[in-house]
A and B are shown apart, each in its own frame.
Chain A
Amino acid sequence: MTELFGIPIQALFGQLLLGLVNGSFYALLSLGLAVIFGLLGIVNFAHGALYMMGAYAAWILLDSFGIDYWFALVLAPLLIGIVGVIVERLFLKRLYKLDPVYGLLLTFGLALIAEGVFRDRYGVSGQSYNVPDALQGATDVGFMILPNYRAWVVVASLVVCFATWFLIEKTRLGSTLRAATENAALVQAFGVNVPVMVTLTYGAGAALAGLAGVLAAPVIQVTPLMGSNLIIVVFAVVVIGGMGSILGSIVSGLLLGLVEGLTRVFYPEASNVVVFVIMIIVLLVRPSGLFGKSA
C-alpha cells in the first residue's frame, strides 16, 4: 500500500508530521499565552516577537560565539526569559489595574519595536540554521521515512508541554499559582510574594516562546517576521481552545496543526486559512471555545 485516498502515503505522512511540528509550536505558544493571561490578565502580543528572538538567539549564539544547538536549547530560553522579566518589571506591571486591551496594545508596540530592530540589524531575507549533527538524516519506520529532527521537535515540545501542565496542575507551586489566578490579594495575605510570582510567570511564558523559537530555527527560515505571522494563527488557536485550560491549549494547538497539515495535502490553497475557518465554525457553534467555560 503506497497510496491512501489517491495520495502517496509518504507525502501524506510527511505533511501530517509537518502539521504536527507546526502544532507543537502552536501548543507551546498558546500554552504560554494561557498561563500569562491567567495570572496577569494580559494577552501578550509580544509572544510572537519572543519566539522570533528565541530563534535569533540560537542563531547568534552559534554564529558569533560558536555555541552549539544543545547549549542554545538551554541558554536561549534563559535569555528570552530574562528579557521577559525585564519587560514585565519595566512595562507590564504598570497595567494591571487597567482594561486588558491596554496590555494587548502595549505588547503590540513592543512586538513592533523588536521586529523593527531585528529587521534593521539582519534584514528581511532570513538566516538558516543547520540541523544539529546528532539529529541529521532520517529513519525508516516502515510506513514512512521519518526526518529525525522533526520527530525530535514533536517529542521535545510534547515533553515540555506536559511538564508545564504537570507543574501547574499537580504540584504545590502550581496550586499556589492557580490560587493567585483566582484571588491574588488572598494569596498575598497568606505570605506568598505575588508580584515576584507574576514576574517569574511572565519570564517562564517568555522562555517557553523562546524555546519554541530555538526548536523552530532549523526547520524554518529565521526571519524578523516569523513571530507576527505565527502569533495571529496562535490567537485563532486560543479563541478556538479557550484560554481557561492548560490542557485545552496544548490539545487544540496540536490538533489544529494536524488539520493544517491535512489541508495542505488535500486542498493546499486553503492551508493558510483553515485555522481561521475552524475558528469561525467554533464561534458559530460553541462561542466560548472548545475548552472554555461558558462566559
Chain B
Amino acid sequence: MQRQPRSFARVGYVVLVAVALAAPFIGLYPVLMMKIMCLAIFACAFNLLFGYTGLLSFGHAAFFGSAAYATGWLIRATGVTPEVGVLFGMGVAGLLGLVVGMLAIRRQGIYFAMVTLALAQMVYFVCLQAPFTHGEDGLQGVPRGRLLGLLPLESDVTCYYVVLVAFVAVFLTIRRIVHSPFGQILKAIRENEPRAVSLGYAVDRYKLLAFVLSAALAGVAGSLKTLVLGFASLTDVHWQTSGEVILMTLLGGLGTFLGPVLGSSIVIALQDTLADRAGSWVTVIIGVIFVACVLLFRRGIVGEYVAFRLRRRLDAK
C-alpha cells in the first residue's frame, strides 16, 4: 500500500473530528449521522478484510444482521443495559464469523466470494423462518435503555455522542490492527499469498483471525444500528446490504482509513435524499456507481486523491 501524504491525512482528520463534534449543533440530523457512523463502522470492518487482507466477503450482512438481531433480542428478552447488548451482538457475530470463515477460507479468490455469499444467504433464510426474528415484521421496539445503567440514551444528542465514541474506538482499533505486525502480515497475504506461505506464515490462521475480527466489528455496527433505530429487520441480513458495504468501501477507497467513512457517508446521504422521491431508482443509482467505480476509479475517491497527490509530488521533484 502506498503511503498517504501526511498533510492530507491530518487535514482530513481535523475536519472530520470538528464536524463530528459539532454535528448536532450545525443542523445535521443526529439520527442520520448515527446511521452513517454505524454503516461507517461496518465499512471499516469490511475494509479490514477486503482492503487489507484481500479477501472479498460477499456476505458481510450476515454478521451485521445477526448482531442486530442478537442485540435486539437480548435487550427485549432480559432488559440488559445497551453496552451488554452490543457486546453480546459482537460475540454472536464473531462466532458466526469463525464458522463462516473456517468454511470460506478453504477456497480462494472468486470462490471465497461465492461461498460467503451463499452462507450469508443461508443465514438470511434462517432469519426469515426463525421465530425470534419475527420474520417479515422484524424485531420492533428495542429500547435504547441506559448506558451502564446510568446514562439514559433516549435523547438523540446523548445517543449521538455515545455512538461517536464507539465509532472512534472501532476506527482506532482497526488502525492499530493494520499498523501492527499482524496487520503487516495481512498485507503480505494480500500482495502475495504463496510468498507469505513460503516465508513460513500460517496463512490460513491469519486469514481466519482477520475474518473473525472483521465479522465481530461488523457486529458492533449492526448492534449499534439496532440501538439507534430501535429495530432489526430482514434488510440487515439481505445480500443487498452485503453489496452496499462493498460499494461504500470501494467508492471511498479500498485499503485507506478514511475511504470507507467517506464512502458510507456518501451512500447513506444519497439513499436518504433519494428515498422518498426515487424508490427503485436508488438501486439503479447504486448499480451505476458500482460500474463507474470498477471502470473509472478502482482506487476509490480517497485512493485516487492520494495517488494524485503522490504523482504531483513526484513531478515537482
Contact = CB atoms under 8 A, between A and B. Distances in A.
Real binding pair: yes
Contacts of B250: 105
A112 B118 contact: no
Contacts of B283: 112-113, 115-116, 119
A110 interface: yes
B280 interface: yes
Contact of B291 (A101, A110, A116, A232): A110
A91 B288 CA distance: 12
Interface stretch (B64-72, B81-89, B102-110, B307-315): B102-110
Contacts, number: 119
Nearest to B129: A269
A112 B108 contact: no
A188 interface: no
Given A116-B287, A228-B239, A232-B118, A273 B295 contact: no
B56 A101 contact: yes
A276 B129 contact: no
B281 A120 contact: yes
A108 B111 CA distance: 15
Interface in B84-123: 103, 106-111, 113-115, 117-119, 121-122
B298 A113 contact: no
Contacts of A91: 291, 295
Interface string A70-103: 0000000000000000000001001100101110
A103 to B, nearest CB: 8
Contacts of A111: 287
B114 A43 contact: yes
A284 interface: yes
Interface class of chain A by DSSP: helix
A106 interface: yes
B122 A273 contact: yes
Interface string B46-61: 0000000000101000
A102 B294 contact: yes
Interface stretch (A53-61, A136-144, A151-159, A235-243): A235-243
A283 interface: yes
A91 B292 CA distance: 10
Contacts of A100: 109-110
A279 interface: yes
Interface string B221-242: 0000000000000000001000
A114 B283 CA distance: 9
A236 B293 CA distance: 27
Interface class of chain B by DSSP: helix
Given A273-B126, A280-B103, A287-B106, A106 B284 contact: no
Contact of B114 (A109, A238, A273): A238
B294 A105 contact: yes
A62 interface: no
B287 A239 contact: no
B294 A95 contact: yes
Nearest to B126: A273
B246 interface: yes
B115 A239 contact: yes
Nearest to A95: B294
Contact of B118 (A104, A114, A119, A279): A279
Nearest to B59: A232
Contacts of B103: 280, 283-284
B281 A116 contact: yes
A295 to B, nearest CB: 7
A98 B119 CA distance: 26
B50 to A, nearest CB: 8
Given A104-B113, A232-B121, A112 B281 contact: no
Nearest to B121: A232
Given A112-B243, A232-B121, A94 B290 contact: no
Contacts of A185: none
Contacts of A94: 295
B305 interface: no
Contacts of A233: 118, 121
Interface string B271-308: 00000000111111111111101110010000000000
B114 A235 contact: yes
A117 interface: yes
Nearest to A279: B118
Contacts of B122: 273, 276-277
B201 to A, nearest CB: 20
Given A104-B56, A109-B291, A283-B115, A232 B239 contact: yes
Given A91-B295, A232-B239, A106 B118 contact: no
Nearest to B279: A120
Contact of B282 (A102, A116, A273, A276): A116
B125 interface: yes
21 contacts: A43-B114, A100-B110, A104-B113, A105-B293, A106-B291, A115-B283, A116-B281, A116-B286, A116-B287, A117-B284, A120-B279, A120-B280, A120-B281, A232-B117, A239-B107, A269-B129, A273-B125, A276-B118, A276-B122, A279-B115, A283-B106
Interface of B: 56, 58, 103, 106-111, 113-115, 117-119, 121-122, 125-126, 128-129, 239, 243, 246, 250, 279-291, 293-295, 298
